[in-house]
Structure 1
Amino acid sequence: MPAFRQVGEKQLPKPILFMVWSPKRDLIALANKAGELLLHRLANFQRVWSLALNDSTGKEITSLAWRPDGKILAFGVGDRKLVVLCDAEKAEVLHTFPVESPVTCLHWVHILEESSVLTSFYNSEDESNLFLPKLPTLPKSYSTTSKIFSEEKSDEIMNLLGEARLNVLVLGGSSGFVELYAYGMYRIASLSGVLGTCRSLSLSSDLRSLSVITEVTPTNQLPYISYVQLDTGLLSDCLAEVTRMARKFTHISTLLQYLRLSLTCMCEAWEDILTQMDLRLTKFVQEKNTSTQVQDEFLELLLWGKSSPELQALLMNQLTVKGLKKLGQSIESSYSSIQKLVISHLQRYTYLSDTCLIPLSPLCGTPDPLTSPVYSEALLYHLNAITAVGSFTLKANELLQVIDRSMKNFKAFFRWLYVAMLRMSEDHVPPELNKMTQKDISFVADFLSEHFSENEELFDRKGKYFNVERVGQYLKDEDEDLVSPPNTSGNQWLSFLQESSHLKDSPLLFPSYPQKSLHFVKRMMENAIELCLQKPAEIIGKSVKQAFSMDLYTVSQRSENSPRHFELPALWNDKNRSMHYVVFTMPEASPCQLYILRRSTDPNRCVPNGLVAIDLSSLLSSIDDSSDSPQYSCLDARFYDDETLMVVLREAGQEEAGGRVLAQLPLSSALSRAGEFTWDPALRLDQQSAAIPTHSLVLENQWRLLENMKAQHLAVNGIRKVACVLSSNLRHVRVFEMDVEDEEDEERVESQDVSAEQEQLEGAGPGAGPGAGSERPIEPGSSSDTL
């Protein structure tokens, strides 16, 4: 009697490429060839949600992994070279980042470390949040940011961190591409020296080593599978420093996102109406017949109360009294909004950025950083980032000064011009506006002299002569210099710096870039921080060395319908014994044997490693008591727990018509006999397989015949005690609960007709049969509640 029960079965409309169980809940994530990510619940394999990729994100999903807490799904997008983090609850894309190579495999692991140093760090970090100011919520009135940083979602990116305990997302791709990302966001290591395309990855939970399965394709030879173990001891030795660095830089990434949205709000607050004065003055210059300067005409109106007919037509017909009043209100409202954003958002951002950057060790725990040859280079990038944040702070303060001065200038100018236009139209002038002191006249005269001079150089820049409005130039995302940079001739501090030979070029002072816009300095800061982010990953990557390597076997030609993700070998990280296990078959050398390679996760410890072969023919003799028992080969294998292996078996020599068997293999006795294997590094393992010790297992009731199904691939979750089997055509799925007795035999007999119909559809190919191309449930023989 089988020891597990079928609880669901379904025919899917599109071929499945990946299927991974959630580590915490009864959910399984599927990715199909159409670029869709699907989430199904165990109960009757019910769909929870689907996420369809589009042209902007790419459509080729090349890998899939769950975060260990089951809240985030990570998947690689091959045609766009992206990694996407998706919320498992709402099917929302939370974060994306580009990579150098299409990701072929993913592995996400929690780091298990109970050291007192790390525990103290976690507690202190939680307390530090009580003293640091929180980022204010961005205004909801701006359409661009209302959906991103509403009050409820202002810390959405920070929620990606999850628990304080460190977790690491490992990426593998072609040409030896391997990278490690703390919390799935911050790159802590870029590895080199790995040959071939990564097919499987497993980072040990103690951070001591990284096991990689690669496929190497030599010139004019068959590709072969190789196993490599990399020593990542620096990450383990400096776990507290790595965790602190990762969380600090993840905070910085969040702050950068917040900064971009704040600048977007500022650009939306700056209205195009503010340029109307510049455009109308330019048109006035181009149309008037006199040679009088514009500022002279306005000064004549200021001093004598008289204006030329051209100026009067400009003021009364084009600008109008009502339009002038509206323009003054718009400028005051817009400048006030920008001023508030600079004070409450940009300055708060720079303070928090310095808080994250200054205490950060640039080498994240190099054994002796002061004597390291790369310490000075990493420190330089770190200091450059702090300097760039300081320069951005100066530019934000400069913008505040320009806003403050512009508000005062425009308020006085519009008040005078409003009264002058009322007098031109012979309207009543309110008494409170009719009084103008000599100081007010001098202020307006200075404003006209500074802002109303014709600038011929501006004619080549979008056909404009005038630049009365000075704030908008700071918010334009352009590489050109400011049209009207601030006048610093009377600044005593700048004069003192220029006269001091010691302070003039001092690295302790932040450069102000007076000719550049706020956006330009922002980009400089982002680039400096990005370089600061990259350097520790390069340094840690250089510390990773190869500890062990073994070429396993050659690879024959594959069918296009067999996704390489599902193929052996498979990796397993035993947290209890700190061991790496590699499960693989060698179809050409010995098709009826399953091999298990064992390696200690700590390459420097003298722990017995081993290799053992499991004889599948003797294993399944209990299924058929006849003397002519069929031999079986392994199609797929996945670890159920530390001592149990789930396998899909096929009768040898019967590739198409042979029956399939789902079985649980107890490995305790086999692993205990896995001894040291003396192998020749000059040869592949399949060339010396005869010398590998072989072990025979006795299968009791941990198996089940998969009737009327050409099972090929497998996904299991030992914590939730579930398994999912996928057929060779990648569209037929069966779900099982393990360690549960099946229903009565007569209930299974009733479903034989339905299963036979399914076999006919499956044998006819993916597009055959009625109803093909639509997702429809198939009533399983043992399920009491099906879709």
Structure 2
Amino acid sequence: MDTLNFRVAEEKNFHSEVLLFSFNPEHDIIVVCSANGDVIAYQAYIRKVWALGTRNQRKKPISLAWRPDGQILAVTFSNRTLVLASVQDGHQLLSEPSPFEVRAMNWVERTTGQPDDNVHVQFESVPIDDYLPALADLPSITRTRKHVVDPPDDLFTLDKQSKLNILILFGSNDILLRAFGLWPLLLINRSSLPTDQSLLSVTMSPSLDTLCLLTRSDTSVNYSLFECTSFLSDYHNDYFHLTRSLCRIKSLILFNDKIFTALTELTTKCFSDFQSRVNTFCEIMRQQGVKQWSFQCELMSLLATGNCSEQMQQHFFGNIFDYGFAKKLVTTFDETRVKSKELIVMFGRTIEHIFGYLVEIKGLQQWYGKFDQIEFDSQILESSLYNAGSLLLKINEYTDFLHEMSDVYTFFLRWLGFVAHQLHTSKHNTSTHHDEQIECTEADWDHLIEFIDAYCAFDEPVLDIFAMYLKSESLPETLVRDSSYRKLFDHTNNNKNACFSPKPRRSLIGAYQDLKQSITKAFEIRTNNSILQLNKPLPLLTSIPIDHQSSAPIEFDHRRSQHSINYIIQQNSLQFHLITYTSPTKQCLVRSFDFHHILGLHRSIVNFKIYDDDKLAMVCTNAMDSDNGNSSETILFNTNHQSNLLIVSLKSLMDSQTTDFVGNNANTTLSYPLKDIPSKLTVDGRRNLIAVVCL
């Protein structure tokens, strides 16, 4: 047998207790979760590469899991929050509340299974992505991109997922399955599980058609099967297309939230100061009690006669809106207009993607009779399609609004700046340079009059029109535009079969919220008790007796391979049970073994992990002073060290037909001394990496 040789790559001190830590399955990254709420990723000899959020925003980390491809990290916290983060920079992709207190998670993918004979060729034809425009990258103003690995093509890299994967969250008596970590596929609550047992671990068979449960009762540890996900195997390809399309929709919604936030912040920042200055001036005029005064009348007087009131000259143009502010505002508005057009194009493209995926889902030929097993209501799809189409019309309206009103608004600002400059030069008897003259056409003056008439006829003029069009719940009458899109649908108002509506009084965010609400219904956590056994005994494959008087927690670890699942359970300090479940036959083989002959009577196993298919990694420590121990232990252990890291081969155990295994030194692949007392470890057998936390 080949002997492993390890060396210490790096040591690092932590200021807070390490609760959880795990190697990334694909990248040279380890994530460490501390009791103070820190979730930090380290790379290549403990070099910090990113941290997840701020510790003050969340409570203690409870569990973590990597997506099988290593691109997404899932972390749950003590405040019942589930967070999905990107491996490339720790950027938070999703944060949602959990319906129950999560104790642990497993993220599994389909590794085997029989092909579905009912799948039509059309389902495996050219994907909808080939018909959609390429999705642009997220603007740098909303995310700092410091890539640890190659950046994904989208937020959740779903385009690279060729196998269905399920994120399993479980508590004491509740299980939640989330397809690709995004879509809550199924919630199994207490009414569907035995009330006399508590969950220790939950995983799924390689074909994802069965839940594999490790539970504990008062007298035994039980391994059972729960056949509640057989539909995933029966119609695998159909569900794969459905779940991936739904998850891509959710991914795009999250992407669009960031785009829309950037768009509204950009627009609001540009005009908030201007709107505030005008509101302040109007409030001053109202406090002075000037009768029959309005900001609109002052502007109309300037247009008609070139004159305005003394208050307008002194308080507005003199103190609030001077020539320098006007020039700065015009420059800022020009920059905002360019960036806004880029963002709205990105926003529209993602909605096109969403619309395309909704159409693809609707086009699945075997919709009825299959998807009703997970209670996916087809009316939700119709509502989502309607709102997506209406939002596309609203985006087109806003694009036209931005294009048409930008020139008018720019001329309005330039005209105010010109007036401010004229008043300043007349007051100080200075000359006007040629480049300070305003250049315009007769149409510009007509549009300016229309603008003042429409948006300034209020106690507080509506000058922040672009931000209002984006984020107000409903548009005021002045912003309801008689666009070509609305004219196109006016004649179909009496037609009940009209597909979409431009939603005249809805702002852009209002139409977007309508779409999000309808899509959210598709992602509601649903409990499907019609296909589950209610509080009935589960098919029991094996049972391991335990001392019913013992209140000590059951320590275990598991490894899931292509055709089998291995659980190793610690019964007492040095005695273990190995459960091997074979998926094709749905049978379990249980083997018991101990390490008395390897470790002796004076050592105890602190923590252990399955290293690979035939090796077990463990850390052990002395139960008493080594001088009083057995001198024969010096073959394996250095008496100068209290603790050791061991790698033990279980191959002879797995190949043996006997039920009992007696350890011997020939089964020890590695014995490495540790300076401090170990508390827990994690392993990556594929890359020969082991991390040990010591006290």
- Normalising by structure 2, we get a TM-score of 0.75
SS at match of 1:471: helix
Distance 2:64 2:47 in 1: 17
* Structure number, greater radius of gyration: 1
Distance 2:439 2:612 in 1: 88
Alignment of 1:514-663 (within 5 A): 514=505, 516-534=506-524, 543=531, 548-549=539-540, 552=544, 553=546, 567-575=554-562, 578-587=563-572, 594-601=576-583, 607=585, 609-614=587-592, 616=594, 638-642=609-613, 662=646
Deviation string 1:325-369 (CA, Å, 9 cap, x unpaired) is: 527725751663365135422222221221222212599977824
Contact between 2:330 and 2:410, CA under 8 Å: does it hold in 1?
Answer: no
Verify: 1:176 aligned to 2:173, yes or no.
Answer: yes
Distance 1:12 1:422 in 2: 65
Verify: 1:502 aligned to 2:461, yes or no.
Answer: no
Flag the 1:281–1:202 CA change in 2: closer, same or farther, 3 A. same
Contact between 1:391 and 1:512, CA under 8 Å: does it hold in 2?
Answer: yes
Deviation string 1:497-546 (CA, Å, 9 cap, x unpaired) is: 6786733x6562235151x43333333332322222336x756x865668
Alignment of 1:51-200 (within 5 A): 54-58=54-58, 60-70=60-70, 73-79=73-79, 81-85=81-85, 87=87, 92-98=90-96, 99-113=98-112, 129=129, 131-137=131-137, 140=140, 144-145=141-142, 147=144, 155=152, 157-158=154-155, 160-161=157-158, 163-166=160-163, 168-192=165-189, 193-194=192-193, 198-200=199-201
Contact between 1:637 and 1:714, CA under 8 Å: does it hold in 2?
Answer: yes
SS at match of 1:359: helix
Distance 1:491 1:264 in 2: 25
Distance 1:29 1:632 in 2: 30
Distance 1:419 1:81 in 2: 55
Distance 2:38 2:316 in 1: 61
Q: Quote how far apart the aligned CAs of 1:50 are.
A: 7.4
Flag the 1:395–1:63 CA change in 2: closer, same or farther, 3 A. same
Distance 1:438 1:29 in 2: 66
**Identical columns (%):** 17
Deviation string 1:629-675 (CA, Å, 9 cap, x unpaired) is: 9799977664444455566789999999878985735466767758x
Distance 2:120 2:686 in 1: 26
SS at match of 1:190: strand
- Relative contact order, CA 8 A, sep 6+: which one is greater? 1
Contact between 2:256 and 2:350, CA under 8 Å: does it hold in 1?
Answer: yes
Contact between 1:37 and 1:50, CA under 8 Å: does it hold in 2?
Answer: no
Alignment of 1:386-397 (within 5 A): 386-397=385-396
Alignment of 1:317-466 (within 5 A): 317-318=318-319, 322=323, 325-326=326-327, 329-330=330-331, 332-333=333-334, 336-337=337-338, 339-341=340-342, 343-360=344-361, 368-369=369-370, 372=372, 378-411=377-410, 413=412, 443-455=447-459, 465-466=460-461
Distance 1:586 1:347 in 2: 59
Which residue of structure 2 lines up, in the alignment, with residue 702 of structure 1? Answer: 667
Flag the 1:507–1:148 CA change in 2: closer, same or farther, 3 A. farther
SS at match of 1:534: coil
Flag the 1:656–1:76 CA change in 2: closer, same or farther, 3 A. farther
Contact between 1:26 and 1:720, CA under 8 Å: does it hold in 2?
Answer: no
Which residue of structure 1 lines up, in the alignment, with residue 212 of structure 2? Answer: 211
Flag the 1:360–1:149 CA change in 2: closer, same or farther, 3 A. farther
Contact between 1:716 and 1:722, CA under 8 Å: does it hold in 2?
Answer: yes
Contact between 2:298 and 2:308, CA under 8 Å: does it hold in 1?
Answer: yes
Q: Quote how far apart the aligned CAs of 1:4 are.
A: 5.0
SS at match of 2:55: coil
- Which of 468, 472, 475 is 2:467 aligned to? 472
Flag the 1:318–1:402 CA change in 2: closer, same or farther, 3 A. farther
Which residue of structure 1 lines up, in the alignment, with residue 639 of structure 2? Answer: none
Contact between 1:86 and 1:95, CA under 8 Å: does it hold in 2?
Answer: yes
Deviation string 1:453-484 (CA, Å, 9 cap, x unpaired) is: 234xxxxxxxxx322442221344x65x4455
Which residue of structure 2 lines up, in the alignment, with residue 260 of structure 1? Answer: 257
Flag the 1:74–1:259 CA change in 2: closer, same or farther, 3 A. closer
Contact between 2:323 and 2:417, CA under 8 Å: does it hold in 1?
Answer: no
Distance 1:298 1:50 in 2: 57
Q: Quote how far apart the aligned CAs of 1:235 are.
A: 1.5
Flag the 1:288–1:172 CA change in 2: closer, same or farther, 3 A. closer
Verify: 1:234 aligned to 2:199, yes or no.
Answer: no
Which residue of structure 2 lines up, in the alignment, with residue 486 of structure 1? Answer: 479
Which residue of structure 1 lines up, in the alignment, with residue 641 of structure 2? Answer: none
Contact between 2:569 and 2:578, CA under 8 Å: does it hold in 1?
Answer: yes
Distance 1:206 1:416 in 2: 70
C-alpha root-mean-square deviation of aligned residues, in Å? 5.1
Contact between 1:636 and 1:713, CA under 8 Å: does it hold in 2?
Answer: yes
Structure 1, unaligned runs of 5 or more: 217-221, 456-464, 675-693, 732-765, 767-787
Flag the 1:303–1:654 CA change in 2: closer, same or farther, 3 A. closer
Deviation string 1:382-440 (CA, Å, 9 cap, x unpaired) is: 22222232333333333334434433544555666667677766665969978988766
Contact between 2:558 and 2:566, CA under 8 Å: does it hold in 1?
Answer: yes
Contact between 2:104 and 2:171, CA under 8 Å: does it hold in 1?
Answer: no
Deviates more, 1:245-254 or 1:2-11: 2-11
Which residue of structure 2 lines up, in the alignment, with residue 680 of structure 1? Answer: none
Residue identity opposite 1:229 in structure 2: L
Flag the 1:650–1:211 CA change in 2: closer, same or farther, 3 A. farther
Residue identity opposite 1:207 in structure 2: L
SS at match of 2:323: helix
Distance 1:413 1:91 in 2: 44
Distance 1:339 1:548 in 2: 59
Distance 1:408 1:421 in 2: 20
